[in-house]
Amino acid sequence: MNNFNLSLAVIGLLFLSGSASAIDLTDYKVIEGTYSDAYVDGSLNVNDDSDKEQTSYNAVIKADLESVHTTAPYTLEYALQGQGSFFRGSDDNSSSESQYDTTAHVEVNKYINNDDTFFVYGNTKLGYQKLSSASSASDPFVKVGAGVGYGRMYIATPLANAMRIAEDLQAYKIIKADVSDKALMDLAKVIGLESEFASKYGSNEYRQYWYSEMEKVLKENKALVNDSLSATGIVRLDEILSTNDSRGVLDRLHGWTVQAGAGQVLSDYNGDDGDTTVDVEFDYALPFGYTSQLRETLSTSKVLNSDSTFDYTMSNRLKYTYEISDKVDWINTWNLKYLKANEAGDDVTTNVLGTTFRYYLANQLTFNTTLSLSNVDGNNLGFVETKGWNTALTSSISYRLK
């Protein structure tokens, strides 16, 4: 119980209010859109102390990728989380060791009426891991599932970009301070058509036509001060919307889905198969202005086979991001997992909390400082109980893939 209390107390610190606006990102309900968030992160610590028998090191590589593509008839989502560690101690008898854990998930939702209500889904989950104590990797984990669901996630990034453009151009006195909600929504719809402009005019030339259409929309809504964006306005648009020269607004999601179905484990890490599960998942996203994003995902899985080590699992992932400035993000995560033992051994509860300050450098590189706390309650199937909370402070360099 103390684990839960401490976790909830820390999560209470994560919520900050975003920028205020008459229009809200949840007003943007254009069905078609793409959400992408992908980073590769690496850190290295080398200790060559003359008092030690040999140089010690610890290298960590992480990959975190998520993409959601949504259209009226279907939604395609895929995600990849992976971490690998390579380390060696300072004692002479210490040898190089490695461990890694990677999971991938692909899911397709087919909407029955091409709207935001009922859908059927199919998914595949893959896992690949190697424990530091093992000489080789475990067998791959493979699970397939299918079922029904309700709800939809909307990609509100175009409106977030429109809000940021309005704020930026107001500072340069290019557009009026009282831009209407209609003007912002019309601008967002043009921003959301980037792929269509690129397809029609080519990847090298489309921006001039894209920006011209944005200027036309602002002019029609009487939002421009001098009836023109001017060269400065075009440069500011390019700075905000071009990912080559600027970080831009991070992708924003809103909405919710709930789904239930059955799953079949084709292979677990021991090479066994046959486990059938009943699976339920709830996914929720809410942005606060264009500066903040909340994402909550809760999933449960009940194993129907009596010989499984764990009878029931529940996992919860909560993520909150806040844009402190154009160069600095504050990212907070809480990962909770509960495994109910079937008969032998303990129930296991794991908590991992992290808070990261991400500073954007040039060429899609970022410098990160992360404080993390982790706790394991219970001993079973490789999980080792901790006496309290393990704390770690790390620095790393990330490359943003998308």
**What CA–CA distance (Å, rounded) separates 209 from 216?**
10
For residue 326, give both structure tokens. Answer: 């154009």
- Residue written as token pair 């490789």: 382
pLDDT for position 326 = 78
Q: What is the pLDDT of residue 376?
A: 86
Highest mean pLDDT among 97-101, 344-348, 390-394: 390-394
Mean pLDDT computed over 119-140 = 82
Q: What is the mean pLDDT of residues 104-125?
A: 95
Q: Summarize pLDDT for 29-45 with one digit per residue, the tens.
A: 988 888 888 888 888 88
Cβ neighbours of residue 285 under 8 Å, at least 6 residues apart? Answer: 153, 253, 254, 255, 256, 293, 294, 295, 296
List pLDDT tens digits, range 180-217.
Answer: 999 999 999 999 998 899 999 998 899 999 999 999 99
Average pLDDT over residues 311-329: 91
181 vs 8 pLDDT, higher one: 181
Binned at pLDDT 50, 70 and 90, residue 227 comes out as confident
How sure is the predictor about 378, in pLDDT bands with cuts at 50, 70 and 90? confident
pLDDT at 51 over 70: no
- Domains of the chain in start order, with CATH, are 2-17+27-155+252-400 (2.40.160), 157-241 (no CATH)
**With 90 as the cut, is the pLDDT of residue 17 above it?**
no
Residue 39: DSSP 8-state: E
Instruction: Give residue 331's pLDDT.
Output: 94
383: confidence class by pLDDT, cuts 50, 70, 90: low
Which pTM was predicted? 0.83
